[in-house]
């Protein structure tokens, strides 16, 4: 799965380089995906030269302020493409600048963006795959920890199978240790042993440590 995602990212960058006749693709990365993308590109066999630049707006006062700062960073760095998790302000900035935004997470928006490209599988595919896993291993009780819309899609799909009892806990995007511990305590109360985790890497780390 990871290799396929990496190949998709590389393919998208090759397409950008070819379409714009670039010798080097200047890529803007949205934190906290900097290390992930850098590692993936470092291990690739692509002939495309890539220059990585982090898009870090720092503290912002409002959504408009974030859009403005993102717009200025992308312009000043002369970026050709942006890659990272979906961010509504980033999508508006890239749309205004007419450069591709390779989105590594589900796009949580009803708006249609011409330059937004989702490079991960649609939520329905992941949901069906997880349900197949649950059926194959005859799971009867499953807990789902999630922190974005993809978790909702998986939850809805798994609940269509009435042979599986599903309990779910939604964590904040930036969960605290207390958030995670409270959810795990509730999970243990209902004796659920099989877990599906659909969270950002920081929340996953907290769950694994507990």
**Shared-domain flag, residues 104 and 179:** no
**Shared-domain flag, residues 135 and 84:** no
**Shared-domain flag, residues 30 and 91:** yes
Ranges of beta strands (E only) in the chain are 24-29, 49-54, 81-84, 101-103, 116-118, 141-146, 165-170, 194-198
pLDDT band at 34; cut points 50, 70, 90: confident
Domain boundary among 74, 92, 118: 118
Q: Counting Cβ atoms within 10 Å, is residue 159 exposed (0-12), middle (13-18) or buried (19+)?
A: middle
Structural domain that includes position 107 = 2-118
Mention every residue, 6+ apart, whose C-beta is less than 8 A from residue 176: none
**Dihedral class, residue 138 (left if φ above 0, else alpha if ψ from -120 to 50, else beta):** left
Return the pLDDT at 69: 92
Return the pLDDT at 73: 92
**Number of domains the chain is built from:** 2
- Cβ-contact 181, 154 below 8 angstroms: no
**Shared-domain flag, residues 103 and 137:** no
pLDDT band at 35; cut points 50, 70, 90: confident
Strands 194-198 and 165-170: unpaired
**Shared-domain flag, residues 36 and 86:** yes
Q: How many CA atoms lie within 13 A of 199 on its CB side?
A: 24
- In 3D space, the residue among 201, 120, 106, 207 whose CA is nearest the CA of residue 153 turns out to be 106
Domain boundary among 118, 133, 166: 118
**Shared-domain flag, residues 83 and 114:** yes
More confident residue, 16 or 145: 145
The answer on pLDDT for 17 being more than 80 is no
Return the pLDDT at 72: 92
**Shared-domain flag, residues 88 and 155:** no
More confident residue, 155 or 74: 74
The answer on pLDDT for 205 being more than 80 is yes
- Cβ-contact 79, 27 below 8 angstroms: yes
- Cβ-contact 167, 116 below 8 angstroms: no
**Which domain CATH number covers 186?**
3.40.50.2300
pLDDT per position as a tens digit, 82-121: 888 888 899 999 999 998 888 877 776 667 788 888 777 6
Instruction: Look over the chain and give the mean of its residue pLDDT values, rounded to a whole number.
Output: 80
Return the pLDDT at 95: 92
Domain boundary among 118, 149, 181: 118
Global pTM?
A: 0.64
Preceding peptide of 32 cis, ω within 30°: yes
Two structure tokens written together for 72: 């200025």
**Shared-domain flag, residues 82 and 19:** yes
pLDDT per position as a tens digit, 151-196: 777 777 777 777 888 888 888 888 888 998 998 888 888 877 788 8
pLDDT band at 206; cut points 50, 70, 90: confident
């Amino acid at each position: 799965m990871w290799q396929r995602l990496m190949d998709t990212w590389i393919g998208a960058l090759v397409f950008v380089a070819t379409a714009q006749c670039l010798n080097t693709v200047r890529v803007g990365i949205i934190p906290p995906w900097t290390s992930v993308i850098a590692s993936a590109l470092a291990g690739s066999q692509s002939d495309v030269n890539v220059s990585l630049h982090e898009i870090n707006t720092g503290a912002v006062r409002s959504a408009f302020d974030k859009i403005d700062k993102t717009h200025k960073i992308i312009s000043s760095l002369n970026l050709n493409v942006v890659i990272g998790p979906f961010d509504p302000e980033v999508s508006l900035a890239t749309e205004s600048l007419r450069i591709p935004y390779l989105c590594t997470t589900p796009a949580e928006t009803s708006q249609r963006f011409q330059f937004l490209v989702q490079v991960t599988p649609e939520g329905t595919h992941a949901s069906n795959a997880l349900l197949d896993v649950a059926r194959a291993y005859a799971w009867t009780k499953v807990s789902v920890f999630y922190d974005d819309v993809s978790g909702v899609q998986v939850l809805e799909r798994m609940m269509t199978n009435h042979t599986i009892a599903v309990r779910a806990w939604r964590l904040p995007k930036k969960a605290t240790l207390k958030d995670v511990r409270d959810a795990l305590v509730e999970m243990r109360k209902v004796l659920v042993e099989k877990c599906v985790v659909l969270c950002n890497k920081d929340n996953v780390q907290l769950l694994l440590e507990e």
